[in-house]
Amino acid sequence: MYNKDTINEIADVVLKILEYESPAYDPEEAVTKLHGQILNDIIDECEDARIERAPENSNFKFIIHLNNNKPFYRTRFSLAHELGHLFLHMGYMTDRWTTAETFQDSIYYRSYNRKDMNYSQEESEANEFAAAFLMPKKQFKESYINNKFNIELTAAEFQVSHDAAKNRARNLGF
Ligand SMILES: [Zn+2]
């Protein structure tokens, strides 16, 4: 279990590893840089994405299965969400990684199959990571103020949905 500050710090470290300095950040490119593979092979409309370790003989370290029929901003958020599971729950780039299992993940599973507390905890942690990755605290605050608290302009700058930017602003105390 992580608190929000820790999740934001971990997202900042990941952005630093990726040498990402100014938004908008591209989670798809990040997956490639982190030696992950994206497969656009989810056709169940209830499911957005899920992540698993790649097989030992693979050239990749992990695989994100993606539903490519979702809106652009939602796909960006889903990919960043899966990166959250990768770092927070599968322990990528730490000792925990060697024992990490497949992380079954989707709105479908989230809503219907897994109602235990740990799961929803992990889901909200992955969402916090996604917001922190796409809209890092310091940069978001600066931009939002520079944009005179205009959500549309700020959302466009970070390439996130209006709702995602609004949530982030609220969670950061605006
Ligand atoms: Zn998830």
Provide the residue ranges of all domains of the chain, joining segments of one domain with +: 4-134
Q: Which amino acid is at 82?
A: E
Cα(125) to ligand 1 centroid in Å equals: 9
Cα(132) to ligand 1 centroid in Å equals: 15
Q: Which amino acid is at 68?
A: N
Counting runs of H as helices and runs of E as strands, what totals does the chain give?
A: 8, 3
CA distance 79 to 60: 16
Query: 137 CB contacts (<8 Å, ≥6 apart)?
Result: 8, 12, 172
Q: Which residues of the chain have a pLDDT value below 50?
A: 106-114
CA distance 127 to 77: 8
Cα(36) to ligand 1 centroid in Å equals: 17
The pLDDT, as a whole number, for residue 70 is: 92
Per-residue pLDDT tens digits for 61-110: 999 999 999 999 999 999 999 999 999 988 999 888 877 666 665 443 44
The pLDDT, as a whole number, for residue 101 is: 63
Smallest CA-to-CA distance from 160 within 138, 133, 126, 142 is with 133
47, 107 Cβ separation under 8 angstroms: yes
Question: What is the CATH code of the structural domain delimited by 4-134?
Answer: 1.10.10
Cis peptide before 24 (omega within 30 of 0): yes
Question: Which sign, positive or negative, has the C-alpha torsion 151, 133, 47, 31?
Answer: positive
The pLDDT, as a whole number, for residue 133 is: 98
CA distance 157 to 9: 21
- Compute φ and ψ for 59, nearest 5 degrees: -80, -10
Cα(90) to ligand 1 centroid in Å equals: 12
CA distance 107 to 146: 35
